[in-house]
Amino acid sequence: MLYFGANFPPTVQLFKMMKFQGSHILSVSQFDRDAIAKILHVSAQMAPYASRQKRCHVLDGAILSNLFFEPSTRTRVSFGTAFNLLGGFVRETVGQENSSLSKGESLFDTAQVISGYSDVIAMRHPKMHSVEEFAKGSTVPVINGGDGANEHPTQALLDLFTIQSEMMHFNKGLDDLNIVLMGDLKHGRTVHSLSKLLSLYNNVKVTMVAPKALQMPDSVISTLSNAGHEVVVTDTMAGNLSCDVIYQTRIQQERFASKDEADLYRGHFSLNKSVYQKYCQENTVIMHPLPRDSRPEANELDTDLNDLDNLAIFRQAQNGVLVRMALFALTLGVEEQLTEHEKPVNWFTNRNN
């Protein structure tokens, strides 16, 4: 059914505690622990389909519009892959210059039109809160793929999924976690969203390592400290990296006034094997939302870490498919129908070996 004008279907709303079906996913503030547990549980159920042991075309015929008005590789492709794996079609618009936003169309109008063509929309945009503004004009669920320096909820959920699965090897969970966030914490939307999610767990210690000018916004720090967690704010690596998980981030050059200004901070907190061995614990898990800036002047996560089992960055990116599949299944209300749509995989694949 298509909806025109301002008569939005009553199912498309932002809920505090979640009824997933028909809901937008705009901010991690929507979730409580139960909602997250549900998402992580459904994500794990997606593993056999993502690894091609079985297929599940429960969204056969559904249409995702993937609107990416800012550069992206893994978020855009994994949203599309996730939807395809569930049997749906994907339409993409990439870059503002290729869309009618460059002709002065409002986000509201674009949303009215595109939601008429789609069952669900994933969107990334450089302006903070733009995805929320867009969602007001949409008649179908909108999933935030990153709105400027504000939030990146699906990344934070996949980060949490990754932390949970990595910590399982050490008989730990999301409670009592000791995590270091390092790099550009001011502009990094992934660490904003992740910190807010971590505040929901018990007895978390978060150490924020960043140049003073690029420290975490106060509002994010107070979300953690108001929930009773220990927060250490520092601009020194020495003595501060002993943790379960170190989460490195990129200097977000696109959020600075100029490249020269971003260059001032590049390479300050490079993590390489010698730093890791000197300051981290033996089993510290290394995460990064990617892309890592591997240019010599930045080298924020050295390739000499590539042979460490605890480097989780590619497992983390892979988990993005599972979590995005789960979010599509939940927002489109098919999470209970997965097994009845299962079929064998007929083509050659060595993915599950």
What's the closest the beta carbon of residue 224 comes to ligand NCD, in angstroms?
A: 20
Residue 326: partners with Cβ closer than 8 Å, 6 or more residues away: 39, 40, 42, 43, 45, 46, 335
CB 124 within 8 A of CB 102: no
How open is the CA angle 105-139-62, to the nearest 5 degrees? 105
User: Which CB sits closer to ligand NCD, 55 or 189?
Assistant: 189
What's the closest the beta carbon of residue 154 comes to ligand NCD, in angstroms?
A: 8
Type of residue at 340: E
185 touches ligand NCD (CB under 6 A): no
What's the closest the beta carbon of residue 213 comes to ligand NCD, in angstroms?
A: 17
Rounded Cα distance, 168 and 174, in Å: 9
The residue with its CB nearest to ligand NCD is 250
What's the closest the beta carbon of residue 189 comes to ligand NCD, in angstroms?
A: 5
Rounded Cα distance, 231 and 180, in Å: 10
Q: How many residues bind ligand NCD (CB under 6 A)?
A: 11
Strand order in the sheet with 120-125: 89-94, 63-68, 120-125, 142-147
What's the closest the beta carbon of residue 253 comes to ligand NCD, in angstroms?
A: 9
183 touches ligand NCD (CB under 6 A): no
Q: Which residues of 98-118 are buried (b: 16+ CB within 10 A; e: fewer)?
A: ebebeeeeebeebbbebbeeb
What's the closest the beta carbon of residue 245 comes to ligand NCD, in angstroms?
A: 16
Name which position in 24, 55, 125, 189 contacts ligand NCD (CB under 6 A).
Answer: 189
Binding mask 55-94 for ligand NCD (x = CB under 6 A): -------------------xx-------------------
One DSSP character per residue, 295-319 reads STTT-SB-GGGTT-TTB-HHHHHHH
CB 225 within 8 A of CB 232: no
User: Which CB sits closer to ligand NCD, 24 or 76?
Assistant: 76
User: Which residue stretches of the chain are H helix?
Assistant: 33-45, 47-50, 74-85, 107-116, 130-135, 153-168, 189-198, 218-226, 259-263, 273-279, 313-331
What's the closest the beta carbon of residue 104 comes to ligand NCD, in angstroms?
A: 26
190 touches ligand NCD (CB under 6 A): yes
What's the closest the beta carbon of residue 293 comes to ligand NCD, in angstroms?
A: 8
Give the DSSP H/E element, type plus range, for residue 340: none
Rounded Cα distance, 184 and 122, in Å: 25
User: Which CB sits closer to ligand NCD, 303 or 337?
Assistant: 303
User: Which CB sits closer to ligand NCD, 251 or 338?
Assistant: 251
Binding mask 123-162 for ligand NCD (x = CB under 6 A): -----------------------x-----x--x-------
289 touches ligand NCD (CB under 6 A): yes
Rounded Cα distance, 240 and 86, in Å: 43
Nearest CA-CA partner of 100 in 112, 88, 89: 112
Could you tell me whether strands 54-56 and 342-344 are parallel, antiparallel, or unpaired per DSSP bridges?
antiparallel
Say how many CA atoms lie within 13 Å of 172 toward its Cβ: 22
CB 90 within 8 A of CB 110: no
Name which position in 290, 301, 311, 326 contacts ligand NCD (CB under 6 A).
Answer: 290
Structure tokens at 317: 């990116």
User: Which CB sits closer to ligand NCD, 75 or 115?
Assistant: 75
User: Which CB sits closer to ligand NCD, 189 or 268?
Assistant: 189
User: Which CB sits closer to ligand NCD, 205 or 255?
Assistant: 255
User: Which CB sits closer to ligand NCD, 65 or 75?
Assistant: 75
User: Which CB sits closer to ligand NCD, 24 or 74?
Assistant: 74
Ranges within 205-264 binding ligand NCD (CB under 6 A): 250, 252
Binding site for ligand NCD (CB under 6 A): 74-75, 146, 152, 155, 189-190, 250, 252, 289-290
